Amino acid sequence: MKRASVVLFCFLLLLSSFSLFNACSPKEKVIEKQMIQIGDAELQEKNEAIYKKREIRGKEREYLSLDFSRIERPASLDEFTQLSHLPPIRQYKTGTCWSFATTSFLESELNRLGKGEVELSEMYTVYWEYVEKARRFIQEKGDSFLGQGSEHNAVIERMKQYGAVRASDYTGLLQGQTEHDHSKLFQEIRNYLNFCKENEYWDEDKAISYVKSILSKHLGPPPETIEVNGETTTPKEYLDKVLELPLDDYVCFMSFKYLPFYTKGEYKAPDNWWHSKEYYNVPLEDFYSAIENALKNGYTVALGGDVSEPGINGEEDIAIVPTFDIPQKLIDQESREFRFTNRTSTDDHAFHAVGYTSTQPHTWLLIKDSGGGAHRGKFKGYYFYRDDFVRLKVLSFMVHKDAVKDLLAKFSE
């Protein structure tokens, strides 16, 4: 072989090896943004629906989710303007989020009103709520919803009736217990009341006495008196004379088209078991603005809504609305109404908004949550709710009336 031919052969061999090396070398994966577009307008980045697996109650289950790593969100609790609140605690195996969320809200209110930090008993309220549920069930001859859930204003009503005590006065835990579990408790109450219904046994005094015996067996009897500053007082006196919570100053809102806006009426959710009609109904924009403005003006807010969505993830600590549900800019009164009517937005859970931050183009709410999901991630007991999730999935809220003066002025008595 001639020398020139050898040189050319070597060059071609080197070039071929270089090309092969490049082809086999790992390259950084570039993920292009796919945008949701209507006409010439790009609404937002598309969220791809994906399936993930997680162990739930000892079994591996598949669930619909998305790639949360692509979601820009606050990096820590420190990014939020936080309002006064006590540390998160867990409700464990109970359906009593309504009491945990509203009690947390009232604890924040006590601090805002200059009463200092007071940790109240959630289970004292829960005990008496079960009693009143049973009472109505008997009075209505079984035609009353029976479940563990309830609403924010139930806490207000039970406190008006039975007062309040500190967490140290009544834990609802028997000796040796460290976690709440109401599965057997509720099963016993339900079985007894269904027995009453099947046998048309409507003696209210005897039925309530029996329900109290079930409650006391599982939770312990609630205290009739407590010691406060060296003096013996009743729970009612403690609420009225020591805490002095202005219970009549707390108002509830909803946003539904089944009732004219700027009128009061019933929140049509099963956990509104006594059919309270004390809900102020407002358009979505007023509803959302009231929540955000209350937080920015120093008032925490007790919220309730749907948390059974792919866009909420405990491991990630965030809640958003993915585009495969609906793009953010298309969330309006009608899309919200549609989901409530077809029951894809249901009254699942209650939680407490205790802070906010703005990262354009979004506002995020800091949510204190007693549910188990909120304790899976990095920020135990907290979620970061993006504004689109609040607009679509939060169905009701409670706040002090001073935080919504302008909104209440739109209502005629």
Output the domain CATH number for residue 202: 3.90.70.10
Q: What is the pLDDT of the chain when averaged over all its residues?
A: 92
Residue 169, pLDDT score: 98
In three-state secondary structure terms, 248 is helix
The pLDDT confidence band at residue 30, using thresholds 50, 70 and 90, is low
Residue 35, pLDDT score: 82
Range 126-158 burial, b when 16+ CB lie within 10 A, else e: bbbbbbbbbebbbeeeeebbbebbbbbbbbbbb
**How far is 87 from 179, CA to CA, in rounded Å?**
17
Instruction: With a cut of 70, say whether residue 20 has pLDDT above it.
Output: no
Instruction: With a cut of 80, say whether residue 10 has pLDDT above it.
Output: no
pTM of the model: 0.90
Provide the percentage of residues in the chain whose pLDDT is more than 70: 92
Residues 6+ apart with CB under 8 A from 378: 317
pLDDT tens readout for residues 226-265: 999 999 999 999 999 999 999 999 999 999 999 999 999 9
Q: Is residue 166 included in any domain, yes or no?
A: yes
Q: Is residue 53 included in any domain, yes or no?
A: no
In whole angstroms, how large is the CA radius of gyration of the chain? Answer: 27
Instruction: With a cut of 80, say whether residue 56 has pLDDT above it.
Output: no
pLDDT tens readout for residues 265-323: 999 999 999 999 999 999 999 999 999 999 999 999 999 999 999 999 999 999 999 99
Lowest mean pLDDT among 26-40, 202-216, 217-231: 26-40
Q: What are phi and psi of 379, to 5 degrees?
A: -105, 85
The pLDDT confidence band at residue 28, using thresholds 50, 70 and 90, is low
Instruction: With a cut of 90, say whether residue 328 has pLDDT above it.
Output: yes
**How far is 364 from 225, CA to CA, in rounded Å?**
43
**How far is 337 from 67, CA to CA, in rounded Å?**
27
Residue 29, pLDDT score: 53
Closest CA relative to residue 351, chosen from 389, 315, 324? 389
Taking phi over 0 as left and psi of -120 to 50 as alpha, with beta for the rest, 164 belongs to beta
In three-state secondary structure terms, 89 is coil
Q: Is residue 40 included in any domain, yes or no?
A: no
Closest CA relative to residue 152, chosen from 248, 297, 293, 271? 271
Mean pLDDT for the stretch of residues 176-205 = 97
pLDDT tens readout for residues 75-122: 999 999 999 999 999 999 999 999 999 999 999 999 999 999 999 999
Q: Confirm if 320 and 361 have CB atoms less than 8 A apart.
A: no
Q: Is residue 54 included in any domain, yes or no?
A: no
pLDDT tens readout for residues 269-278: 999 999 999 9
Q: Is residue 391 included in any domain, yes or no?
A: yes
**How far is 381 from 74, CA to CA, in rounded Å?**
16
**8-state DSSP, 254:** E
Q: Confirm if 87 and 381 have CB atoms less than 8 A apart.
A: yes
Range of the domain at 185: 68-408
Number of structural domains (the chain) is 1
Q: Is residue 4 included in any domain, yes or no?
A: no
Instruction: With a cut of 60, say whether residue 374 has pLDDT above it.
Output: yes
The pLDDT confidence band at residue 14, using thresholds 50, 70 and 90, is very low
Residue 109, pLDDT score: 98
Give me 61's structure tokens: 């289950």
**What is the identity of the amino acid at 123?**
M
- Residue 327: is the preceding peptide bond cis (ω within 30°)? no
pLDDT tens readout for residues 127-155: 999 999 999 999 999 999 999 999 999 99
Q: Which helix (H) or strand (E) holds 18?
A: helix 3-24
The pLDDT confidence band at residue 36, using thresholds 50, 70 and 90, is confident
Closest CA relative to residue 290, chosen from 265, 253, 235, 317? 253
CB neighbour class for 243 (10 Å; exposed up to 12, middle 13-18, buried from 19):
buried
Between these two residues, 13 and 127, which has the higher pLDDT value? 127
**What is the identity of the amino acid at 180?**
H
Helix axes 122-139, 183-198, angle to 10 degrees: 10
Query: What is the widest separation between alpha-carbon atoms in the chain?
Result: 115
